[in-house]
Amino acid sequence: MLGAIIGDIVGSRFEFDNHKSKEFDFFHPGCYFTDDSVMTIAIGASLLECKGNYENLSEVAVSMMRKIGRKYPHCGYGGHFRLWLKSAVPSPYYSYGNGAPMRVSACGIVGNSLDEVKILSRKVTEVTHNHPEGLKAAEAIATCVYLARTGSSKQELFDYVQAHYYPMNFTLDEIREEYEFDVSSQGSTPQGLKAFFESESFEDAIRNAISIGGDSDTIGAITGAVAGAFYGIPSWMIDKSMEYLDKQLHIMCERFVDRHPMNLIKLV
């Protein structure tokens, strides 16, 4: 989850001013948290609220996303999601936007089996993004986080994605020049995963994600979720990222980390 938040923060200043290079200041005064971090934290809080009984997770997620989301009305929500937050009767709106994969990383941390992770992912996703592409993207990231944190190799992760979710028959160098802003799940999730697969460290993965342009904060969050679970996150990066959050979001992150310390952070 912290990997997703760091990817979001680092990518925030490049979302509408793409930087197609791996050379840039990792943390910068112009960075900030966006809706990606807010909703990632909301899903984490939803899972904690359930206290291990996830029967009503969908309802809890709806309540938590709306409660927390309304406190940050200007953090970059898409139009349909903004209406969902305000709606008197929130209903799924058949979205395949990349809001589905960017917020789901905590499911891969909390789930105790691959099957449970998939159930949790669906429960927190289908309340808004009930299009098959949205559901697939969320499940892809949640399962990759789970497999990464439970010891799968990068090749095993690659093979699983290739077999169940997306073809990985491209390189970042091949797409970098022409890749453009795309807020669809299918237009950003494979790219975010490829940024991880071509990386050598957590930081390198985030730099890969930013270097292709597009929806940089969300691709950073997607990549960071998997990279953080696989490589671990340097402690200084965790500390620095928390400086960008306000007190409430910081506290909510700490609560999740306290409950899942070994699963979430590997200090390197």
Report residue 239 as tokens.
Answer: 């500390």
Report residue 242 as tokens.
Answer: 């928390």
CA distance 122 to 135: 6
User: Is the pLDDT at 265 greater than 50, yes or no?
Assistant: no
- pLDDT in the model for residue 264: 44
Task: Tell me the per-residue pLDDT of 10-35, one tens digit each, with 9 for 90 and over.
Answer: 999 999 999 999 999 999 999 999 99
- pLDDT in the model for residue 260: 85
- pLDDT in the model for residue 268: 39
- pLDDT in the model for residue 209: 98
Task: Tell me the per-residue pLDDT of 147-198, one tens digit each, with 9 for 90 and over.
Answer: 999 999 999 999 999 999 999 999 999 999 999 999 999 999 999 999 999 9
Residue 62, phi then psi, degrees to nearest 5: -60, -50
What does 42-105 look like in DSSP terms, one character per residue? HHHHHHHHHTT--TTHHHHHHHHHHHHHTT-TTS---HHHHHHHH-SS-------BTHHHHT-H
Q: Which CATH superfamily is domain 2-16+32-261 in?
A: ADP-ribosylation/Crystallin J1 (1.10.4080.10)
User: Is the pLDDT at 263 greater than 70, yes or no?
Assistant: no
Q: How confident is the model at residue 262 (pLDDT cuts 50, 70, 90)?
A: low
Residue at token pair 């799968």: 152
CA distance 163 to 158: 9
CA atoms within 13 A on the CB side of 129: 28
For the chain, the C-alpha Rg in angstroms (whole number) is 16
- pLDDT in the model for residue 115: 98
**∠176-189-203 over CA atoms, to 5°?**
65
Task: Tell me the per-residue pLDDT of 88-124, one tens digit each, with 9 for 90 and over.
Answer: 999 999 999 999 999 999 999 999 999 999 999 999 9
Question: What are the residues facing 97 on neighbouring strands?
Answer: 184
Mean pLDDT (the chain, rounded):
95
Task: Tell me the per-residue pLDDT of 40-91, one tens digit each, with 9 for 90 and over.
Answer: 999 999 999 999 999 999 999 999 999 999 999 999 999 999 999 999 999 9
- pLDDT in the model for residue 267: 42
CA distance 66 to 123: 16
Q: How confident is the model at residue 261 (pLDDT cuts 50, 70, 90)?
A: confident
- For residues 38 and 72, is the Cβ–Cβ distance under 8 A? yes
Q: Enumerate the domain spans of the chain.
A: 2-16+32-261
